[in-house]
Structure 1
């Protein structure tokens, strides 16, 4: 292009990961080449309203600046055409976003539900805008741990034993659910909301009392719960980058100071150590890379993902834990550090992701949309 790439960054969102998203957006805005990109901030407030900022003349220097560097979207400007993003919501807020300036590509960094789960991706598809990351289906599968595990099982990927539990069944037959978990998974086990990220609402249960508490906690975040059997393993992670010919990063290890890698450890340090590259045998690193590519292909991911594993060192056995289709870019985030160790620094990583978004969008334009009318 003969001008700067107009990069819209969508951040914030109606989820418990709102603050994480702000940190990710700030990190990206501070890292991009200002000679190459014109940043257009697009902020989703906690109440669900959307505001769009003027293209940033200077890089923001704080999370608070991201909250302030925005103005209410101009409802009167809502029209149509390429590069305009229009979203309709509740009548009191409709339209909640209107961008009249040309946007070349969107980088959505809304983590968790109502953002990372395919909802924002669907909106961008309707707006016919290129965007970084996986499409609607892969994003939805990557967010819903229950569905993710079903897809992994279908693809023959190794994973720990698990049970999916509906909140309605928990309400109606708690004792029956607890007995089933004890019979099929035993203790300790992990209880999680199916549709939350950043380890929000996750607990480790060592007995019946903790299990019941964990189920009730997870049920406050989602109507679908997942319970996983415990495996004594090291936590290993790898990054994947690309569309249909993806590459992998080095393998990193999470050495948690707590019993598991929770929200505090991920985003506030909390004594957790990240070992990059991981001190593991080469055959384990090779197998992780191969399995990560299978995971990526199983959900039809694109752009980027981080794939997490457990390695039972004693048995030399790997288990796929989960895939994160929009990993964070905070100072404590594993994904950019994994690729930095692989020789792709942060700024170049963003450049590649933008290029992959444009590539994927261009490929999609080859699809025939209209069918011939039937006689």
Structure 2
């Protein structure tokens, strides 16, 4: 019998998207096939502490209080230590010379962490330093795509149309920056580093834009002022690389919104956990999976449908992405023009609902199988296979040589 792969599902995290991350983590835990995987949850609190224990599988236990934490084990990554049976370890915090703490071995990490710390390359860098396979993009890809201004530049370089955008950092003269804005009003103002639905809004005029930037600075260190697309319709599509190494796209979705742009409520709270027939759904349909949307919208003709898919594939390759990111586009419904908006490298619910609606449907469990396999394969292919100080780079000789 083949030994099961040991998977650590990490979720929560010290970011404004902490609660949404919990929902995604619980969905992943539920979707992983127990015949193939030995899975354990790792919850990262708002204070950055890591915890594990079966109680974390129950939605009712969030956010853990002091009483519940007595049922959990606080752990940390065993950095720089020997592996156990070829596996990496999380070790109980608090063990000492007289007490050997518990250890939790794993083969791969699924980061169900949205926003900073989980989507910005921080966690990926720590894991990469130990050679630990991690689902999704590598340090460079995650560090680039968390920065919306950098992503806009990468998209333009890859040939995607992007709306006029201005970067404003905290500490800069906001009034002077807005004086230099060459576009018209209204504009769209959003955080540069946070999730796509937090702290973002339309500003009607210059004074309102200055206020919107000030609001962003309470959440983030930089803001983007962007051309506001009229008659706005949004289209999103996910991309992945299949087991043959070919790029595939999911169903295209048109999210339904109440206001001028999608906000946190539209994305995560609008669906009320109901399916298309109005039936109550479980944890798997919470979070991003509960949002109201139209899949494969009929108004998209073949040319525009293909254009969105081709642009998404091109940018996926341009930034060396992996996993199953979602790429978001903006459309002027009156003119049919389309612009790239942003990448979600670890989308809510892993956007599994888009893959279920693809031309060749992919279930959530199958999607997880594929991106776990990809993560382990990529780490093996990136392992150092030559002497790190070869080719004249050596200064010191090994003792005794």
TM-score by length of 1: 0.87
Which of 278, 281, 298 in structure 1 is aligned with 2:301? 281
* Stretches of structure 1 lacking an aligned partner (at least 5 in a row): 88-97
Q: 1:66, CA displacement in angstroms?
A: 7.9
What pairs with 1:98-177 in structure 2 (closer than 5 Å)? Answer: 100-169=103-172, 173-177=173-177
Which residue is 2:389 aligned to? 371
Which residue is 2:96 aligned to? none
Which residue is 1:40 aligned to? 40
Which residue is 2:13 aligned to? 13
Q: Is the Cα contact below 8 Å between 2:78 and 2:88 reproduced in 1? A: no
Which residue is 2:357 aligned to? 341
The structure that has the greater radius of gyration is: 2
Which residue is 1:294 aligned to? 314
1:207-227 per-position Cα deviation (integer Å, ceiling 9, x unaligned): 233212210011112222211
Distance 2:334 2:102 in 1: 55
1:220-273 per-position Cα deviation (integer Å, ceiling 9, x unaligned): 122222111011231000010127632111211112112110111111017963
Q: 1:121, CA displacement in angstroms?
A: 0.5
Q: Is the Cα contact below 8 Å between 1:194 and 1:224 reproduced in 2? A: yes
Cα RMSD over matched residues? 2.6
1:138-178 per-position Cα deviation (integer Å, ceiling 9, x unaligned): 11111111111122222232110000111111xxx332123
Distance 1:159 1:80 in 2: 48
What stretches of structure 1 move > 6 A for 4+ residues in a row?
74-78
User: Residue 258 in 1 paired to residue 255 in 2?
Assistant: no
Distance 1:163 1:74 in 2: 40
1:276-317 per-position Cα deviation (integer Å, ceiling 9, x unaligned): 122211111111110000110121101111000112243332
Q: Is the Cα contact below 8 Å between 2:115 and 2:194 reproduced in 1? A: yes
Q: 1:107, CA displacement in angstroms?
A: 0.1
Q: Which region of structure 1 is more displaced relative to structure 2, 220-229 or 68-77?
A: 68-77
Distance 1:26 1:146 in 2: 31
Distance 1:366 1:9 in 2: 26
Q: Is the Cα contact below 8 Å between 2:78 and 2:89 reproduced in 1? A: no
Which residue is 1:84 aligned to? 88
What pairs with 1:199-218 in structure 2 (closer than 5 Å)? Answer: 199-218=197-216
Change (3 A) 1:156 1:111: same
TM-score by length of 2: 0.81
Distance 1:129 1:292 in 2: 28
Which residue is 2:281 aligned to? none
Q: 1:44, CA displacement in angstroms?
A: 1.1
Aligned length, in residue pairs: 353
Which residue is 1:93 aligned to? none
Q: 1:202, CA displacement in angstroms?
A: 1.0
Change (3 A) 1:99 1:306: farther
Distance 2:102 2:325 in 1: 28
Which residue is 1:70 aligned to? 72
Q: Is the Cα contact below 8 Å between 1:191 and 1:202 reproduced in 2? A: yes
Change (3 A) 1:248 1:76: closer
* Stretches of structure 2 lacking an aligned partner (at least 5 in a row): 92-100, 273-290, 396-401
Distance 1:126 1:328 in 2: 26
